[in-house]
Structure 1
Amino acid sequence: MIQSFLMIGQSNMAGRGYAKEVPLIFDEHIKMLRNGLWQIMSEPINFDRPSAGVGLASSFAASWRQDHQQDEIGLIPCADGGTSLDDWAIENVLFENAISQARLAQRTSEIKGILWHQGESDCSPEKADQYQEKFSRIIDTLRKELSISEVPLIIGGLGDYLPTGIFGQYFTHYSLINRELEEFAQSHENCYFVSVKGLTANSDGIHFNAHSQRLLGIRYYCAYRGLKHLLNPNIDENDILNEIYNRSYTKTEKLKLLEHEFALGNIEGKDYLMQLKAIGQE
């Protein structure tokens, strides 16, 4: 059975990294939920906006696959950009959608973890003071509704670059949210905090760039695998990322990628048939 992970939060969970800046991650055993069905993962996984791009979930899944080479992983994208913790309250549509999507996934998979990244929309002292109480209510209800009381919840910090970006005046109190996120993880069972030290942003100064998203996904997986907080970067995370990028494609993957290029009109029919034949003879 597919082992699945629920992706919730705002835009840095959905992903805004530019795909052109990083190599492709493609694995026939990494799936994403679309219309209640599992499809081979392609980015953007979490298409919440036309600006959706590279997020952390792809490298999280690829890292997971390195330890589970005979198994399939599924990603359940439910993040929504620009949303506050109040938007995720249990009586609101985002929460209801996440429950709905997760229940669809549970028909054909077992949810093994929750991936959360959110907080940029709550960067004020007043909202920080209420963060843990509100977040606890959301997570407790989510766990109860889906009967996943003990699966790990992985949460990441906000980028240190936030106050220096072009919208920096809105993020002067970002460190208060980071404190609340870390304290929440430290004080709740089955919850682990991931540091974003050293990660960098797109030119907007708000969203992690594609390479940083790749590293963040690896960090999320390390926290998940070890069931521990990750308060400092892994010294080998770039090596892990290179292993992911250098993985050889299977014949099925080569065929799927070729089919994708043909469907987009990037390959002429004659060239498509020639390459199709070449792959079939491998």
Structure 2
Amino acid sequence: MHGVTILAGPSDWEILQQEKGYAQITLKGTYKVHSAALEVGVQSAMPVIRVIKEEDNMAVIPWSAANKVTKKEYFTGEFETTLIIPSGGLYRIETGLETRSVQSDLSWMFRGDCVLHVGVGNLFIIAGQSNSAGYSRDYCMDPPDVSVHLFRNRDQWDLASHPMNESTDAGSIANEEMGIPGVSPYLSFGKCYAAYTHMPVGLIQTALGGSSIRRWRPNEGDLYQNMLGKIHKTKGRYAGILWYQGCSDTDPESAPFYYEHFKDFVQSVREELGYKIHFFTMQLNRQINGSYDRGWGLVREAQKRAAREIEGVTTLSTTNLNLSDEIHNSAQANVVLGEKLAKQCSNVLNGTEEYESPTLKNVEFTDMEEKKVLGIRGIWLKLSFAHVKTCFLLYSRRGNESGFTLEDEEGEIEIKSIRANREDRNHIYLELGRMVNGEAYLSFAWKADPVRFPVVDEVTYLPPLSFYKNKITIS
């Protein structure tokens, strides 16, 4: 074909990871002057490239000659050029062949290949199991938006839309779903994060429903290897990894080792990438009539611990999200989760207002003076939390509906009631049925099906991060 043919460069719909507001791309290809021009006579031919903003057809980079041109006979050849493109888009990359005739007043601009709908913004890898792959099959309003693109399982960039883990034309892949996936949290996430940053978002889907962390472990895990393959195909530079996984590891054999396995996963991914990528994780929600409560508590505790102990890991609580079946978030809940995650990413990556789940930091008995101020009697524990905007909102004051459990050397201690108020913004008070004897262990929202209406921050409506058997010693 005459004109310019692109052989290597960005794909249609591709999102390029910006660095300090720009992305660098390289185009390679061939060129060939039209035979009609050769008959008239040609003096010179040069491949040229420009970048156009698609919304208004204004040139972001005007026509520019290729950096490197290898000329061959009959005004054919090869070219290579590098462009620095500012964040934003969507862009159209156009090529052409600027040709001058031997006749001084005659020139031609021959056609060239185009790359369409390219954006410079932020890339995120989606990893984990069913709630990350997207299993919600009920109703919600979550339409596609041109600001969010998806690297589909067929290894092609496209407009992002549900279901995001479908496998049309993908062949045999490790993260192929057995059934038909549904609504994911991450289309909503992408749209919100794009609005916050004024840059498009690219998503790379690698999650699989029902997958245990064993399949994500370095060296032996097929899903880990599949993710590495996607990393290499999409240039290897990203803003973060979105991780929602753990339900399949709540059995007695796997749950005690979840933290170590997740830490190995994080370290291996960072070694592979060569930089300390941020992991945005979500604590487990719930399973109706789920078995082995202790395993759910151990995994949630490991997820809380990872956010505290592994640099560059954050986690969001999810225990106030509705379900569409016994274990999967509803479609509307996933839309809300995506919005919450976008707020947290914006805080972590862009320095906007803090958006974190409240986290327990201290436990002590209330003293007599506090009891007078609060107008309470009896035995009360005072729980202090970090990341509270104003105060906690309680749906019930009944202790058996609080989601908190307390055990000591004599067994479980009844929690008679729960209290919080705006004057004491970062505290929750638990009324106990008896005095604590020696070492005690406090837990919150830890069971397979924990409290249905956990306390939440009055502003963010985020529940505290779940925790399991946190040791407390009260003198």
Pairwise TM-score range, normalised by the shorter structure: 0.7 to 0.9
Partner of 1:38: 157
1:196 is paired with a residue whose SS is coil
Deviation, structure 1 residue 124: 2.9
Partner of 2:96: none
Partner of 1:145: 272
2:321 is paired with a residue whose SS is coil
Which is further off, 117-126 or 9-18? 117-126
1:94 is paired with a residue whose SS is helix
Structure 2 contact 127–242 (Cα < 8 Å) conserved: yes
Partner of 2:240: 113
Corresponding residue to 2:190 among 61, 69, 77:
61
Corresponding residue to 1:11 among 123, 130, 134:
130
Deviation, structure 1 residue 106: 1.8
Q: How many angstroms apart in 2 are the aligned matches of 1:81 and 1:134?
A: 18
1:180 aligns with 2:302: yes
2:150 is paired with a residue whose SS is strand
Deviation, structure 1 residue 189: 0.8
Corresponding residue to 1:198 among 295, 320, 330:
320
Structure 2 contact 147–201 (Cα < 8 Å) conserved: yes
Look up the equivalent residue of 1:98 and give its one-letter code.
M
Deviation, structure 1 residue 51: 2.5
1:173 is paired with a residue whose SS is helix
2:240 is paired with a residue whose SS is strand
2:291 is paired with a residue whose SS is helix
Deviation, structure 1 residue 23: 0.8
Q: How many angstroms apart in 1 are the aligned matches of 2:241 and 2:233?
A: 15
Look up the equivalent residue of 1:76 and give its one-letter code.
I
Alpha carbons of 1:147 and 1:194: their partners in 2 closer, same or farther (altered >3 Å)?
Answer: same
Deviation, structure 1 residue 218: 1.6
Partner of 1:22: 140
Q: How many angstroms apart in 1 are the aligned matches of 2:457 and 2:279?
A: 19
2:208 is paired with a residue whose SS is coil
Partner of 1:218: 339
Deviation, structure 1 residue 104: 1.2
Partner of 1:52: 181
Deviations 1:20-78 (A, max 9, x none): 51013211121000233321101111234232111111111111011123x22100000
- Give RMSD over aligned pairs: 2.0
**TM-score, L = length of structure 2:** 0.45
Q: How many angstroms apart in 1 are the aligned matches of 2:308 and 2:150?
A: 30
Deviations 1:149-168 (A, max 9, x none): 1x321110111x31x34xx2
Deviations 1:201-223 (A, max 9, x none): 112x1111111111111222222
Structure 1 unaligned segments of length 5 or more: list them.
238-282
Structure 2 contact 124–242 (Cα < 8 Å) conserved: yes
**Relative contact order (C-alpha < 8 Å, sep 6+): which is higher?**
1
**TM-score, L = length of structure 1:** 0.75
How many residues align? The count is 227
2:275 is paired with a residue whose SS is coil
1:39 is paired with a residue whose SS is strand
Percent of residue pairs bearing the same amino acid type: 25
Alpha carbons of 1:66 and 1:138: their partners in 2 closer, same or farther (altered >3 Å)?
Answer: same
Partner of 1:86: 214
User: Which structure has greater strand proportion?
Assistant: 2
Partner of 1:245: none
Q: How many angstroms apart in 1 are the aligned matches of 2:338 and 2:126?
A: 12
Deviations 1:181-217 (A, max 9, x none): 01011111111010003112112x1111111111111
Structure 2 contact 127–244 (Cα < 8 Å) conserved: yes
Q: How many angstroms apart in 2 are the aligned matches of 1:24 and 1:130?
A: 37
Q: How many angstroms apart in 2 are the aligned matches of 1:100 and 1:51?
A: 23
Q: How many angstroms apart in 1 are the aligned matches of 2:327 and 2:239?
A: 29
Deviation, structure 1 residue 225: 1.5
Deviation, structure 1 residue 98: 0.3
Q: How many angstroms apart in 1 are the aligned matches of 2:238 and 2:165?
A: 17
Q: How many angstroms apart in 2 are the aligned matches of 1:221 and 1:234?
A: 19
Structure 1 contact 13–55 (Cα < 8 Å) conserved: yes
Q: How many angstroms apart in 2 are the aligned matches of 1:117 and 1:111?
A: 18
Partner of 1:73: 201
Structure 1 contact 5–76 (Cα < 8 Å) conserved: yes
Deviations 1:79-99 (A, max 9, x none): 011111111111221101101
Structure 2 unaligned segments of length 5 or more: list them.
1-119, 167-175, 349-354, 359-455, 462-475
Structure 1 contact 195–233 (Cα < 8 Å) conserved: no
Q: How many angstroms apart in 1 are the aligned matches of 2:304 and 2:159?
A: 33
Structure 1 contact 193–223 (Cα < 8 Å) conserved: no
Q: How many angstroms apart in 1 are the aligned matches of 2:195 and 2:122?
A: 14
Partner of 2:254: 127
1:76 is paired with a residue whose SS is strand
Deviation, structure 1 residue 17: 0.8
Which is further off, 225-234 or 213-222? 225-234
